[in-house]
Structure 1
Amino acid sequence: MERLKHVVVVIPGIGGSVLQPPEGAAHWDEHRRRLIAAATRPGRLSLDARPDLTPVDLLSDIRLIGPFVLPGYDGLVRQIRRSFADVRVDVSRPDRTPDPRADLVLFPYDFRKGIVPAAHRLAADMDARLRGLSPAARRRRVIIVAHSMGGLVARYWLGPLGGAADCAALLTLGTPHRGAPKALDYLVNGVRVSRKQFAGLTRVLRGWPSMYDLLPRYPAVQRADDGATLYPHELDGGLLAVAEAKAAYQRHVDIETAWQDLSPEDRPEVIPAYARGHATPSRAVLSLREERHVLSVTKDAPLWLPNPEWHGDGSVPAISAVPLELDEKRGTWRGQPERHLALASCAAVVDVLTAYAGASLSSVRGEEPDRPWLGLDLDESVLAGEPVRVGITLRGAQAEAETQVHVRAVAAQGRPQRVTPWVRGISLDSSGGSWVAEIAEPLDAGLYTVEVTATGVPGVGRLRTTDELGVVDVLAEAGTEEGRN
């Protein structure tokens, strides 16, 4: 078994770090009571009220908090430890001295504050770990594996903060290099599940610079009256904090400019792993209703943008998951079948690390996965008791008459484990490549895995995919608790 030849740094996405106050028990971690408290008393995560939270670890497992299903990173760490010999793990913490012998570094950060403060702390941590090395040994010593917003943190360190020479490669997993309309929807229309609003969480999120860092840095908004397209910071009608949106846009420009200025020999290899084929919030339309500006964000394809039929990973459009400078360098792209949460532990991670450790590279590089996969249309969360609608599309193959899909939900917790009956999908088109299935059995609040299988698929026979679903029933408590924040 090969050893890692580099210092591998894992950077999570927004919400993927454990945050702890100076007085002790974490305000944001896997503990169920604290998760519920964060949902029902969101002021605990307000930057104004609690600027002193310290990042102390990565979230271990996928969790449901309020309306959000959050990623976990234990699966990724286990994959790396199983694939390489004698891996030494260290968690980067502001209150601890880095372990210079570690070859796998977990980098939690205060995801509320945005990419720039996190990038500065990453720069300081890397400098402390590499300081004792000669310039030759330090050069290209680091490989970064970054999920979601973590990729923007890494890009800011490597570009504007000058860390590129220390890095051999940056593997981004579903990183919104060009932002995501989902963030725009949260900031303008608020956090909601179905018809219910999380007003307290919305107020808190609007105070996080990180939410503005995730705004699209391309013209993602189309005006309904004349078809003109707008950047988020060009919105009028008081829909968005324009100053914050402009500042975030400039941070993206700073990243892109710094990367353009890097010489070829100093530029790390950037390998974007991304998904396509899953219904993803992608299209924003600005209209005027009863003399009020209204912004609608939907999963419809934005036809004014390149490759609208690619969709995305359920959270990040495919167009956003590739940096601008790689538009014409598709040889490094890695299309994956997984949705956004599952990308955090996709097979591309071990493949890339294995290649850099000196072994052969087994995975296929390219714009899409090398075998058929199932694209899903599934909301992140639903209300308890409501039916769950799942859209399924066969990608990378043509369905045949005998191709069938089935769907069920499996509770993540509870004994005995709750499992709904399989539901057969109903075909939506004459080609037979799209189906819809509805889990009508009422689900109690909690986290569920939605399993989807397809049989009779040409060339492969059977396909299976999963994604996580949050079933939410904390809204009444949220309404009573927000006044205490």
Structure 2
Amino acid sequence: MARAQVTDLVVVLPGILGSRLADAGGRAVWDLSGPALLRGLRGFTAAAGALRLPKDTGDGDPGDGVVPVGLMPDLHALPGIWHPVDGYTDLLRWLERHFTLSVSDNLLTFPYDWRLSCRNGAERLKGRIDLELERWRASAPGRREARVVFLCHGMGGLVARHYVERLGGHEVTRRVITLGTPHRGSLRALSDLVDGGGRRDPEIGAFARSLPSLHQLAPDDACMEGPGGLARVRDLPGLPGVDEALLADAARFHADLRGTEPRADLYTIAGTGQPTASTARYAEDRLALVSEGDGDGTVPLPAGAGPVAGSWAVYEQHGSLQNNRAVREALRSLLGEEAALPAEAGHLPDLVPADPAAADPALADPAARLGVRVPAVLPAGVPYEVTVTAPDDARLLMAELRAADGGRPVARPLRSLGGGRYAAAFPPPGPGAYRLSVGPVTALSLIRRSAL
């Protein structure tokens, strides 16, 4: 099949943890994915103190010589910060197969130091775009009017939006496409800050609490339960683990984005149908995620991006959105010079409008309307339990567990519990990273060598 023509510059931005980092001598300081993930976690925990940011870092550079060197190729995770996320190599290869795109030519990756403020990443993005777009436009007469299309996963969408809306990037941007971007934050980030890595990894907790980026991923809306109803995190002084100055600055960051009229078309694709924390309560020295709403298991739906050119949701988990079949079909419509709205194309039954007022879950293929719950992190020696929600009790569902480093997958039928609920249990998997698939939904887990 002929590749679809793309004359613009396409730039891929990963989410938090999705960029490989190296020190000034070129030695990897964060490059744990695939088979190397479990082996390297212990070493990273020991080195986390050296990567902790000074309190006065702000939007600047800490001067520690750490630089981004590439995107994470495979499944990656850091217990205590976010949830496991799959790599980006397969996405890049898919883009090259289906479009006239070539890595380092008109398909660029933008790794960034995910420890730092999104504003810092946006400033660096500006410098990269200034150079690369000039190069691409000068490479052929037919490219002189080329613009930039941003394809962003997770936090990468916040970096790109700040560049476009606040740093003049709209002048050269055709559109911004975000996958699972927490436009109004996520309780997952707040839980990481408050929990601080738990008793197992205090060094990871101290590292996490020094990150402006993780504070900018914390919820920006009223989600904390209290005697007076729901309150914003920034209105609850004294919440442990949260740097109040960083949180206040994060609120200004989001307010700046909300207060700016969109200057380039923004298309959002979010995960839906997966159990996702929507409210929390702090009591007895712990943050309890007490209410579950809709979302991708990490980022709630709606994402709250404000005015958008198009917004859709797919039944998928956050860490797997970039590799989801329905998402990629939507990208076929969105990467051309003129975006064709997937919802109008009539050929994406797994994709539904993300606006709750317009969304009708029945629009999606019933076989795709699955919500999957698995442990993000589990100690070795514990059975691996899967629960699934479906539209009814008449499904014949199979769960397939695959080790990220290869090996034969193991399948188990899910038994119906009634009320559209299903369950299955796998014998304790060995330590490592895993993908669990039920229908089109893929959840990611990390099995650690010892108890949490």
Q: Establish whether TM, by shorter chain, passes 0.5.
A: yes
| Distance change (3 Å), C-alpha of 1:349 and 1:155 | farther
1:341-374 CA-partner distances (Å, limit 9, x unpaired): 1112334345435454368765546236731221
Q: In structure 2, which of residues 419, 422, 425 is the aligned counterpart of residue 435 of structure 1? A: 422
1:447-483 CA-partner distances (Å, limit 9, x unpaired): 112232xxxxxxxxxx45332211112679xxxxxxx
* Deviation, structure 1 residue 114: 2.0
| Distance change (3 Å), C-alpha of 1:423 and 1:11 | same
> How many Å separate the matches in 2 of 1:474 and 1:24?
31
On the 8 A contact 1:284/1:295 being kept in 2, the answer is yes
What is the match of residue 296 of structure 1? 288
The answer to whether structure 1 residue 12 and structure 2 residue 25 are counterparts is: no
Pair member with larger Rg: 1
Q: Secondary structure at the match of 2:274?
A: coil
1:193-233 CA-partner distances (Å, limit 9, x unpaired): xxx6321111101011101010111011111xx24221111
What is the match of residue 203 of structure 2? 200
The answer to whether structure 1 residue 186 and structure 2 residue 172 are counterparts is: no
> How many Å separate the matches in 1 of 2:14 and 2:235?
30
> How many Å separate the matches in 1 of 2:197 and 2:413?
30
Q: In structure 2, which of residues 266, 272, 279 is the aligned counterpart of residue 276 of structure 1? A: 272
Q: In structure 1, which of residues 325, 345, 354 is the aligned counterpart of residue 323 of structure 2? A: 345
| Distance change (3 Å), C-alpha of 1:50 and 1:437 | farther
> How many Å separate the matches in 2 of 1:177 and 1:118?
16
Q: Secondary structure at the match of 1:391?
A: strand
What is the match of residue 56 of structure 1? 69
On the 8 A contact 1:5/1:356 being kept in 2, the answer is no
Q: Secondary structure at the match of 1:152?
A: helix
| Distance change (3 Å), C-alpha of 1:127 and 1:350 | farther
What is the match of residue 397 of structure 2? 405
On the 8 A contact 1:4/1:353 being kept in 2, the answer is no
> How many Å separate the matches in 2 of 1:470 and 1:387?
13
| Distance change (3 Å), C-alpha of 1:355 and 1:294 | closer
> How many Å separate the matches in 2 of 1:125 and 1:358?
22
| Distance change (3 Å), C-alpha of 1:160 and 1:50 | closer
The answer to whether structure 1 residue 81 and structure 2 residue 96 are counterparts is: yes
Q: In structure 1, which of residues 112, 116, 127 is the aligned counterpart of residue 115 of structure 2? A: 112
What is the match of residue 173 of structure 2? 167
The answer to whether structure 1 residue 241 and structure 2 residue 243 are counterparts is: yes
TM-score, normalised via structure 1 length: 0.78
Q: In structure 1, which of residues 256, 259, 262 is the aligned counterpart of residue 258 of structure 2? A: 256
On the 8 A contact 2:414/2:422 being kept in 1, the answer is no
Q: Secondary structure at the match of 1:324?
A: coil
What is the match of residue 183 of structure 2? 177
1:410-432 CA-partner distances (Å, limit 9, x unpaired): 22236xx2644515334143xxx
| Distance change (3 Å), C-alpha of 1:117 and 1:181 | same
On the 8 A contact 2:51/2:207 being kept in 1, the answer is yes
Q: In structure 1, which of residues 418, 422, 428 is the aligned counterpart of residue 412 of structure 2? A: 422
Q: What root-mean-square deviation, in Å, do the aligned CA atoms of Structure 1 and Structure 2 show?
A: 2.7
On the 8 A contact 1:7/1:143 being kept in 2, the answer is yes
Q: In structure 1, which of residues 467, 470, 476 is the aligned counterpart of residue 443 of structure 2? A: 467
| Distance change (3 Å), C-alpha of 1:149 and 1:202 | same
| Distance change (3 Å), C-alpha of 1:145 and 1:358 | closer
Q: In structure 1, which of residues 312, 335, 338 is the aligned counterpart of residue 295 of structure 2? A: 312
How many residues were matched structurally?
Answer: 414
> How many Å separate the matches in 1 of 2:121 and 2:225?
33
The answer to whether structure 1 residue 392 and structure 2 residue 394 are counterparts is: no
> How many Å separate the matches in 1 of 2:334 and 2:246?
41
1:114-162 CA-partner distances (Å, limit 9, x unpaired): 201000000111112234759x977770100000000000010011112
The answer to whether structure 1 residue 103 and structure 2 residue 106 are counterparts is: yes
What is the match of residue 123 of structure 1? 126
| Distance change (3 Å), C-alpha of 1:313 and 1:128 | same
The answer to whether structure 1 residue 324 and structure 2 residue 309 are counterparts is: no
Q: What's the % identity of the aligned pairs?
A: 27
> How many Å separate the matches in 2 of 1:65 and 1:275?
21
TM-score, normalised via structure 2 length: 0.84
